[in-house]
Amino acid sequence: MKIRFFSIFLLFGIIAGCQSQQKFEEVDAAEVDQAKLEMAANLTENLLSEQKKGGFYELTAEEATSAMISGLGERRQKKSYKQIKKMFGDYKSIRFNHMMRSTTGAYLEIYRFKGDFDQSENELEVRAVFDADQKLAGFFVRPWTTQF
């Protein structure tokens, strides 16, 4: 059983510092904007599916912050997916679990998905973080924990 914490992608720049100091609240399922959820799920699916095929997903300025675009390029995606595959197997699917939003500091929305990977014995979290402009500002694959 793989117990160790393993973040494949890190929040970049100031977002990392802000998130660690910020407070978050869970958003009631009925309040989750379905269009934003669909966008987050599609972007997450695109990133992992392209990596699974041996490629990479090229983030655009419309969908990601400049820090994410520069930090999550082709080389980083391919290297990270090799680590994911080694630890958890190939990506299969995601399913939405819940959304969190910041209550202090810079506004962030965090979409927490449970990820299915073909060799993982435990549930995994696939987390997509979006800023106030609805741009991807962070992306993680790691073992699931109920505590945020």
Paired sense of beta strands 108-117 and 124-131, if any: antiparallel
Distance of CA 131 to the CA centre of its chain: 13
Q: What is the pLDDT of residues 45-98, one digit of tens each?
A: 999 999 999 999 999 999 999 999 999 999 999 999 999 999 999 999 999 999
pLDDT, tens digit (0-9, with 9 covering 90-100), for 1-51? 443 434 444 333 334 444 457 899 999 999 999 999 999 999 999 999 999
Q: In the chain, what are the domains?
A: 14-143 (3.10.450.590)
Token digits of residue 133: 């402009």
Q: For residues 132 and 123, what is the distance between their CA atoms, to the nearest angstrom? A: 29
In three-state secondary structure terms, 125 is strand
| Distance (Å, whole) CA 30 – CA 96 | 13
Q: Given the structure tokens 């190939």, which residue do they identify?
A: 90
Predicted structure pTM score: 0.86
